[in-house]
């Protein structure tokens, strides 16, 4: 399909994060990959009926693991971006814990090139903070920035050394890059495989306390105040961390954070049956944490919903809980999980969509995340009621490690456009 004139007709045009928020029944006209008009009765050579559906900016995920290079048996850029398109995402930011690690220009360039060759959606790499993610010396941040990284992170591991973190902040500030912390004090975590609390005690799995996360965030915020650098907390999982970020924002610090759909939807009770698909880092927490995260998302303390899409093969997952690799798939279930909160009335639909579009775009300073006239036509059409039964066959991702497997969820992307071109079309609307 060429990116010529196309009209999406009669949808709910919904862009709650725009400077002037949009929520109206209208048509969207796209020409040469851009949104050129929003209004009624628009015409074009091709007209797609999207009545009863939502037209939103293409979703943006700040946190995915695409596993290429090096672990293509779990996922690669082609399958990972196909899963993204199926989930309604048009931009994904990929973490550097590949093999080799994305800690230098050559690896960033490789990711960018592979994404251009085989990627279904936009891929924006995140560079490592330290060489080899070893926490010892800084990576080649300047070179990676030239090659296209949008942030730096040692995700999967925290930066434990405060002195090194200070230098990393100073570097990041020079290049105006956000530093993304995987907040987990390893001395407090002591290798705990799940949340430390009543459930871990009952089932006899060593836990890690909530303060392993929040104490590192508290420390980091002191260094943010000192350096003035941009700080982004990955996958916030505890009530205390959310409270710290809320307070830091009130004080005007350049701080942002994200939450995953799984930390909103599940608690440590899900680990009761030793299902390794529920093992993630940070671990699933308590109902009180879950409630605090929803509140923080509602009041804008949390800027973005990010999946932490973490594909693993049976080799890493079909083992004892303690030995299993942490992580679960996220790209294809994020939207239905979040829309479920909207249906239940526990999350405002404007906040839900904002945190998947304009919120993440602003957080990393990415283009997109808007339906403004003139913007690139990265657009997702959502059917808020359409069921999705998650089966191994229906998953586009190479790996199948989702605790939602076998469940029927509702609300999903039915059409994903990248620069006006279809990259996912559930019902074959675009001929």
Q: Which residues contact ligand DOR (rule: CB under 6 A)? A: 65, 97, 155-156, 182, 280-281, 308, 310, 325-327
Restricting to residues 320-379, which ones interact with Zn ion according to CB under 5 A? Answer: none
* CB closer to ligand DOR, 308 vs 349: 308
326 binding partner (options ligand DOR, Zn ion, none; Cβ < 5 to 8 Å by kind): ligand DOR
Residue 140, interface with Zn ion (CB under 5 A)?
Answer: no
* CB closer to Zn ion, 155 vs 316: 155
Restricting to residues 207-246, which ones interact with Zn ion according to CB under 5 A? Answer: 234
Contacting residue, 182, 263, 277, 412, with Zn ion by CB under 5 A:
182
User: How many whole angstroms separate alpha carbon 363 and alpha carbon 304?
Assistant: 8
| CA-wise closest residue to 4 among 48, 58, 56, 44 | 44
Please give the residue whose beta carbon sits closest to Zn ion in the complex. 182
Burial pattern 261-295, b for ≥16 Cβ within 10 A else e, equals: bbbbbbbbebbeeeebbbbbbbbbbbeebbebbbb
Lay out the sheet containing 89-94: strands in order across: 59-64, 89-94, 122-125
| CA-wise closest residue to 368 among 32, 120, 35, 138 | 35
* CB closer to ligand DOR, 257 vs 325: 325
327 binding partner (options ligand DOR, Zn ion, none; Cβ < 5 to 8 Å by kind): ligand DOR
* CB closer to ligand DOR, 28 vs 325: 325
User: How many whole angstroms separate alpha carbon 384 and alpha carbon 349?
Assistant: 11
Distances (CA, A) of 69 to 77, 114, 142, 244, 419: 9, 10, 21, 36, 26
* CB closer to ligand DOR, 268 vs 383: 268
Name the one range near Zn ion by CB under 5 A: 30-38, 78-86, 148-156, 287-295.
148-156
Closest distance to Zn ion from the beta carbon of 234 (Å): 5
The reply to whether 103 belongs to the active site is no
Closest distance to ligand DOR from the beta carbon of 135 (Å): 14
Q: Is residue 283 classed as helix, strand or coil in its secondary structure?
A: coil
Closest distance to ligand DOR from the beta carbon of 419 (Å): 29
Which of these is catalytic: 103, 268, 308, 378? 308
Closest distance to ligand DOR from the beta carbon of 375 (Å): 32
Query: Dihedral of CA 36/41/43/49: which sign?
Result: positive
63 binding partner (options Zn ion, ligand DOR, none; Cβ < 5 to 8 Å by kind): none
Distances (CA, A) of 117 to 65, 66, 123: 18, 15, 11
Residue 155, interface with Zn ion (CB under 5 A)?
Answer: yes
Please give the residue whose beta carbon sits closest to ligand DOR in the complex. 327
Closest distance to Zn ion from the beta carbon of 63 (Å): 7
Closest distance to Zn ion from the beta carbon of 160 (Å): 14
181 binding partner (options ligand DOR, Zn ion, none; Cβ < 5 to 8 Å by kind): none
User: How many whole angstroms separate alpha carbon 85 and alpha carbon 332?
Assistant: 9
Contact of 151 with 177, CB cutoff 8 Å = yes
Strands 379-389 and 54-57: antiparallel
Structure-token match 């030793």, residue found = 274
* CB closer to Zn ion, 155 vs 268: 155
| CA-wise closest residue to 311 among 327, 324, 297, 325 | 327
* Torsions phi, psi for 165 (to 5 deg): -60, -40
Which residues are tagged catalytic?
308
Binding site for Zn ion (CB under 5 A): 155, 182, 234
């Amino acid at each position: 399909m060429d990116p010529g004139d196309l009209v999406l007709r009669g949808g709910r045009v919904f862009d709650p994060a725009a400077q002037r928020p949009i929520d109206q029944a209208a048509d969207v006209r796209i020409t040469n990959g851009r949104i050129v008009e929003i209004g009624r009765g628009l015409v074009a050579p091709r007209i797609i009926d999207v009545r009863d559906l939502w037209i939103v900016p293409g979703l943006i995920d700040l946190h995915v693991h695409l596993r290429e290079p090096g672990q293509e048996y779990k996922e690669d850029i082609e399958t990972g971006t196909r899963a993204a398109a199926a989930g309604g995402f048009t931009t994904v930011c990929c973490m550097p814990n590949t093999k080799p690690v994305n800690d230098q220009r050559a690896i960033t360039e490789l990711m960018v090139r592979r994404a251009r060759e085989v990627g279904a959606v936009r891929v924006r790499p995140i560079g490592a903070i330290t060489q080899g993610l070893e926490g010892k010396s800084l990576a080649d941040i300047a070179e990676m920035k030239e090659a296209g990284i949008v942030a730096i992170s040692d995700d999967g591991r925290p930066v434990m050394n405060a002195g090194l973190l200070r230098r990393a902040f100073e570097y990041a500030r020079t290049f105006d890059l956000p530093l993304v912390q995987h907040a987990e004090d390893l001395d407090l975590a002591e290798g705990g495989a799940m949340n430390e609390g009543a459930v871990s005690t009952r089932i006899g799995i060593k836990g890690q306390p909530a303060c392993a996360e929040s104490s590192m965030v508290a420390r980091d915020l002191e260094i943010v105040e000192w350096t003035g650098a941009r700080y982004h907390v990955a996958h916030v999982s505890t009530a205390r961390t959310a409270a710290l970020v809320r307070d830091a924002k009130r004080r005007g610090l350049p701080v942002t954070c994200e939450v995953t759909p799984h930390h909103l939807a599940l608690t440590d009770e899900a680990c009761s049956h030793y299902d390794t698909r529920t093992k993630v880092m940070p671990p699933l927490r308590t109902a009180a944490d879950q409630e605090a995260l929803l509140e923080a998302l509602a009041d804008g303390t949390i800027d973005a919903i990010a999946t932490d899409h973490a594909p693993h093969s049976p080799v890493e997952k079909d083992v004892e809980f303690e030995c299993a690799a942490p992580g679960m798939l996220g790209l294809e279930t994020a939207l239905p999980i979040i829309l479920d909160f909207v249906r239940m009335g526990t999350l405002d639909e404007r906040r839900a969509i904002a945190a998947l579009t304009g919120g993440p775009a602003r957080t990393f300073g990415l283009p997109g995340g808007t339906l403004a006239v003139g913007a690139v036509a990265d657009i997702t059409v959502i059917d808020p009621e359409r069921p999705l039964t998650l089966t191994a066959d229906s998953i586009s991702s190479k790996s199948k490690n989702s605790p939602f497997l076998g469940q029927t969820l509702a609300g999903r992307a039915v059409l994903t456009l990248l620069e006006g071109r279809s990259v996912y079309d559930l019902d074959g609307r675009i001929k």
